[in-house]
Chains A and B, each alone.
Chain A
Amino acid sequence: MTDRLTIGFLPLVDAALPILAKEHGFAEDVGLDLEFLRDVSWATVLDRLLYGHADAAHLLAPLAIATTLGIGRPARPLSVPFVLGLNGNAITVSNDLADKLQPEGGLGNAEEVGKRLADVVASSDRRLCFGVVHRHSSHNYMLRYWLAACGIRPDRDIDIVTVAPPFAADALESGEVDGICVGEPWNSVAVERGVGRIVLTTAQIWRRGVEKVLAVPTAKLEEKRDAFERLIVAMRRAGEHFVDPANWETNAEILARPEYVGADPALILHAISDRLRLQQGGELIHYPDFMFQFREAANFPWVSQAGWLYAQMMRWEGRGFDREASEKAMAVFRPDIYRAALSGRDSPLPGASSKVEGGIASPLGVSAQQGRLVLSPDNFFDGKTFDPERLESYLASLDQ
């Protein structure tokens, strides 16, 4: 028997796994017929998910948490049984600003670029403005984390506004924003058009930052639990296919189709092979951590990652710590479902469901429920760590 699942998504490279699971027949192999609903705003992806047009959605991880907590709209419980990938975003600034932040060209160092930006902010006669894709996005929280750690206070020293990804390059060109923090291919689009330069990737701010997730209304996950577990199996296979260089060109062609991302296959190929052109006419550089996928249990929904996002949300929404809300936020990530789906299969499963984020300085073998698991450094650029057990004191330790 075949189960049909409809998945909502935004045209971004990190929607790759469910799409490739369908296109390469991995979904069919586990008795799933996947259908896709392409939208152009997260608000619409979320509406369609909450009102039953879609069974699951490619969603911003913090948006799944905000929706569950009822921030910005009436609360609706969502569950995240699978992380669609880590990082894959970059910070692109106008050419003028890039000359000041990274005069020597190339990919900058988060601390140095931040210091130079602080100087620009201090001496500028107008407030600089950066665009992010959504207020409840990892883009927003990573950008804010970086700025604050470099002594630039968002909302006081600098403005941060929402810009729809397809219009990010336009906003840079028109001077509406001085910089953008978006996913691919939209940084590369701005570079190709000569309206900005990539100065940093978000992986340089948090080396293993959680990005998009598969979000499912909690009731729907219970109702179709078996089908969703099979979807997890199919997406793991898609991930394995995705990281194999032999498949990059084929996958770039598939993702580039108008019904999926609808962008230049060459730019998509760069993103999935961790290569970036930082400025118009420049050389391609290779940054292996740019978009981290599949390996090291990258798809595992670590409860501590949800905790970090919750902490940033509270920090920037000016809300205080609330134990009940923090537990609710962390319970959005569902390692139990991930484990159940992959138990007895060829996928390593960590022994723990939570870890100290940013706590790994050199490759570390961790206890595993199944398989062998070595995790690479996952540091934050400022060397801080996040212990989900001490969320309240973490929040208190932040300067704002």
Chain B
Amino acid sequence: MRIAIVDESEMRASIIEDGLADLPDCEIFVITQRLGLMARMDEIQPDVVLIDLGNPSRDVLEEYFAVSRALAKPIAMFVDESDDDAIAASIDAGVSAYVVDGLSTGRIRPLVDVAVRRFNAFSRMQSDLAEARGQLAERENIDRAKRLLMNSKGLSEPEAYKELRSQAMRSSKRIAEVAEALVMAQELLGGAA
């Protein structure tokens, strides 16, 4: 089975490719460029196309499937009309599958399942990454705020931290928010942290 993965995110495409590599009898092609997409389709002659929902080329691709004489095999949307749950799961995950008409559900389902799991894993990874970045930024702000207090009020590090914490409690804010406000105020006033 020839599978084309169309995704402008190279990282996500390779994560999906990696997942599909374990399936038997699959040849995988990854397309991350918008330009020349149709020419690549002609070359690849895929049996299945997986494309992310955020891809602006979807309408162009559907037009191509609908009218192209270059593709010897007609491509139908999605897996199968009867397999609505699989379609719903793939839409939820953010991926759409186009399949050559007549390919049995039994062969397609496992592949779509893998794509869905990989898409979901990728979004989790992205949000974990964003969270980790956020935590890092908070840590930095707290350190800068402590240094500001230590320099301007001559406090020790534990005292500076205590100061931040009590201000946070008084204003029912998080320590990171108080630190951020302090750092921002200092920047506005033109001082160096």
The answer to whether A41 touches B78 (Cβ under 8 A) is no
Interface assignment of B159: CB less than 8 Å from any CB of chain A: no
Known: A51-B88, A51-B91. A167 touches B77 (CB 8 A): no
Q: Which of B34, B53, B92 contacts A44 (CB 8 A)?
A: B53
The answer to whether B66 touches A72 (Cβ under 8 A) is yes
Q: Which of A47, A162, A163, A164 contacts B96 (CB 8 A)?
A: A47
Q: Which of A44, A72, A164, A167 contacts B54 (CB 8 A)?
A: A44
Least CB separation from A135: chain B residue:
B63
**13 residue pairs from A and B, CB less than 8 Å apart:** A39-B53, A40-B54, A41-B55, A41-B58, A42-B59, A43-B62, A44-B53, A44-B54, A72-B62, A74-B78, A135-B66, A162-B62, A167-B34
Interface assignment of B70: CB less than 8 Å from any CB of chain A: no
- With a cutoff of 8 Å between Cβ atoms, the chain B residues found around residue A162 in the complex are 59-60, 62-63
Distance to closest chain A CB from B77 (angstroms): 4
Interface assignment of B45: CB less than 8 Å from any CB of chain A: no
Listed in ascending order, the chain A residues whose CB lies under 8 Å from chain B are: 39-44, 47-48, 51-53, 72-74, 133-135, 161-164, 166-167
Q: Which of A43, A51, A73, A74 contacts B59 (CB 8 A)?
A: A43
Residues from 39 to 66 in B contacting A, C-beta threshold 8 Å? 53-63, 66
CA distance in complex: A345, B62 (Å): 42
- With a cutoff of 8 Å between Cβ atoms, the chain A residues found around residue B91 in the complex are 47-48, 51, 53
The answer to whether A40 touches B63 (Cβ under 8 A) is no
The answer to whether B63 touches A161 (Cβ under 8 A) is yes
Distance to closest chain A CB from B62 (angstroms): 6
- With a cutoff of 8 Å between Cβ atoms, the chain A residues found around residue B92 in the complex are 51, 53
Interface assignment of B81: CB less than 8 Å from any CB of chain A: yes
- Of B53, B59, B62, B96, chain A has the most CB atoms within 10 Å of the CB of B59
Distance to closest chain A CB from B75 (angstroms): 11
- With a cutoff of 8 Å between Cβ atoms, the chain B residues found around residue A43 in the complex are 58-59, 61-62, 96
**Digit string of B119-146 for contact with A (CB within 8 Å is 1, else 0)?**
0000000000000000000000000000
Distance to closest chain B CB from A66 (angstroms): 10
- Of B34, B57, B62, chain A has the most CB atoms within 10 Å of the CB of B62
Q: Which 3 A-B pairs have the closest CB atoms?
A: A162-B63, A41-B58, A43-B58
The answer to whether A47 touches B53 (Cβ under 8 A) is yes
CA distance in complex: A135, B34 (Å): 19
CA distance in complex: A164, B56 (Å): 7
CA distance in complex: A41, B34 (Å): 14
- With a cutoff of 8 Å between Cβ atoms, the chain A residues found around residue B61 in the complex are 43
